[in-house]
Amino acid sequence: MKKSIFYHAGCPVCVSAEHDILSLIGKDQVEVVHLGEERSRIPEAEKAGVKSVPALLTPNGHALHINFGASMADVKG
């Protein structure tokens, strides 16, 4: 199975959700991307429908926004 991708920006809501998601889905099933540090991946996230972080992109391409840490506008700064 393709991995899911967990997009976050280091915010407290993100860190808490990351911990929960990795423990539920399994650490090796999820690629974790910090959009504040890997800014080159922001366009890919937006194209996938990510509107806020934290968000989980499923292997079938659905963006699941989990709680609310920051909007993509905030992430882009």
Q: Does 32 bind a copy of itself (CB under 8 A)?
A: no
Q: Does 65 bind a copy of itself (CB under 8 A)?
A: yes
DSSP state of 2: P
Q: Does 20 bind a copy of itself (CB under 8 A)?
A: yes
Q: How far is the CB of 58 from a copy of itself (least distance, A)?
A: 5
CA distances from residue 46 to 16, 66, 77 in whole angstroms, order as listed: 22, 15, 14
CB atoms within 10 A of CB 33: 20
Q: Does 27 bind a copy of itself (CB under 8 A)?
A: no
CA distances from residue 68 to 3, 8, 29, 55 in whole angstroms, order as listed: 22, 10, 22, 9
Q: How far is the CB of 72 from a copy of itself (least distance, A)?
A: 15
Residues that bind a copy of itself (CB under 8 A): 4, 16-17, 20-21, 23-25, 29, 58, 60, 62, 64-68
